[in-house]
Amino acid sequence: MSFISLGLSPALLRAVSAKAYLVPTPVQVAAIPAALQGRDVLGSAQTGSGKTAAFALPLLQQLENTASESPRRARALILVPTRELCAQVGEEIRALAAHLARPVKVSIVFGGVSINPQMMRLRGGADVVVATPGRLLDLVDHNALVLSHVTTLVLDEADRLFDLGFAEELGRILNLLPAQRQNLFFSATFPPAVQALAQTLLRDPVRVEVLPEPQSQPDIVQRAIAVDAGRRTQLLRHLIAQNHWRRVLVFVATKHAAETVADKLRKARINAEPFHGELSQGKRTQVLADFKASRLKVVIATDVAARGLDIAQLPVVVNYDLPRSSVDYIHRIGRTGRAGESGVAVSFVSVGTQAHFRLIAKRQGLDLQLEQIEGFEPTEVAVAAGAGPDPATGGIKGKRPSKKDKLRAAAARGQTPM
Ligand code: AMP
């Protein structure tokens, strides 16, 4: 299958080849022809599947075929859950629009930065608006933008829009849009809120469900390492040095942990920065730019960074703290091994998080052996109140070892199948 056979215009084919996209990805093969026919699309696709181009190319082709007004009225609206995804999607659309005969103006608007420059840039209008919901409504309230001419609405990472509490804003935005429009709707998962929205929003949609085939799955080696919780930073330093890792994205559970681990690494002369929701937008942008330009070796992030970020050549992701859910696990490890590159995803598992890891592994159908690294063999065992662990069994002294105790003891010897 080639891009030409999907029915794309010469200007868009030029842009695709300038981006060095040789063949369309499965989600592009399935979604582009349907969207070009004006059909609604309900897409479920893995992170890194190429879904941005899957909705951006047809949307741009429709703009190309219709004259732009003056002043420009937004004709395509793309709603995304995070600032980073907003910038990333907007940049991809700009690149794909680069060769169109009539220039397409793409406005990228998100919260956390001053609204005034965004209002200035919207003077004279915009053809395509990529936005986070809250800031979009602020701009509408300031009369900087009207949505009454939108002919295509894209919801990108719809599940995440709900996770982040945008339901009310979404409702308001939908009321501002013309009823007659095309809807392109992408989500990694379909919880009830997303299903309900899809049912009310979409008209006879073409369902695009790209199941990952073995050969199209990102090439990610997954590892799980048993380590005492208190020795994780040391182990991280050891792995970075031993494996000569040049660029590592480390996930932790809290902003505080992001700050502390980054601090400890810096004290060990490893160039590291935290990345979380409480940093200013300027700082977040700078950390990402430094990371992408290899001025930073390690970024310690909360789940703010788990979705949508596209950092080319990110070889290693480390789960310093395990993610809360197996879906988050997939999003985190999806940061590496993107667009055909290989990657390594390492999870640190302490005695306290073993059960949780087993659950994630089971949900993902992973069959991972819990490894031990020489010099970092775990010594901790689960302790019940008032009783000490029995070093021989890993169980509690004075009790017969339970099935769990036996599993723990086996894990400590590095034999637990995960
Ligand atoms: P996305 O799922 O839209 O975030 O895309 C993931 C990555 O795949 C991005 O780096 C895109 O630039 C890249 N990409 C998208 N489509 C293609 C394609 N047809 N061939 C190669 N890379 C692609």
Ligand 1 atom closest to the Cα of residue 92 is 12
Alpha carbon of 132 to ligand 1 centroid (Å): 21
- Banded pLDDT at 395 (limits 50, 70, 90): very low
* Residue 314: closest CA among 276, 284, 344: 344
* The dihedral formed by the CA atoms of 85, 89, 91 and 94, expressed in degrees to the nearest 10: -160
What is the sign, positive or negative, of the torsion defined by CA atoms of 240, 244, 246, 248? negative
- Which residues line the pocket of ligand 1, CB cutoff 6 A? 21, 24-25, 28, 48-53, 310, 338-339
Quickly count: other Cβ atoms within 10 Å of residue 23's Cβ.
10
Report the pLDDT averaged over residues 57-67.
Answer: 91
* CATH of 218-371 given 3.40.50.720, 1.20.1260.10, 3.40.50.11720, 3.40.50.300: 3.40.50.300
For the chain, give the mean pLDDT: 84
Quickly count: other Cβ atoms within 10 Å of residue 294's Cβ.
11
Does residue 187 carry a pLDDT above 70?
Answer: yes
Distance, CA of 139 to CA of 168 (rounded, Å): 16
Q: What contacts 75, CB < 8 A, 6 or more positions away?
A: 63, 66, 68, 127, 128, 149, 150, 151, 152
What is the 8-class DSSP label of residue 385? T
Alpha carbon of 341 to ligand 1 centroid (Å): 11
Ligand 1 atom closest to the Cα of residue 47 is 2
Q: Are 207 and 40 in contact (CB under 8 A)?
A: no
pLDDT at 242: 92
pLDDT tens digits, 72-107: 899 999 999 988 889 999 999 999 999 999 899 999
pLDDT at 218: 59
- Banded pLDDT at 402 (limits 50, 70, 90): low
Domain ranges across the chain: 4-209, 218-371
Alpha carbon of 176 to ligand 1 centroid (Å): 31
pLDDT at 214: 41
* Residue 190: closest CA among 152, 154, 157, 153: 157
Ligand 1 atom closest to the Cα of residue 23 is 19
* Residue 251: closest CA among 285, 298, 292: 298
pLDDT tens digits, 214-234: 434 557 788 999 999 999 999
Determine the CATH number of domain 4-209. 3.40.50.300
For residue 222, list its beta bridge partners.
345
Domains 4-209 and 218-371 share a fold: yes
Residue 180 token pair: 């007659």
Distance, CA of 151 to CA of 128 (rounded, Å): 10
More confident residue, 50 or 263: 263
Alpha carbon of 1 to ligand 1 centroid (Å): 16
295-to-229, 273, 338, 352 alpha-carbon distances in Å: 29, 11, 21, 35
Ligand 1 atom 12: the closest Cα is on which residue? 50
**What is the pTM for the complete model shown?**
0.62
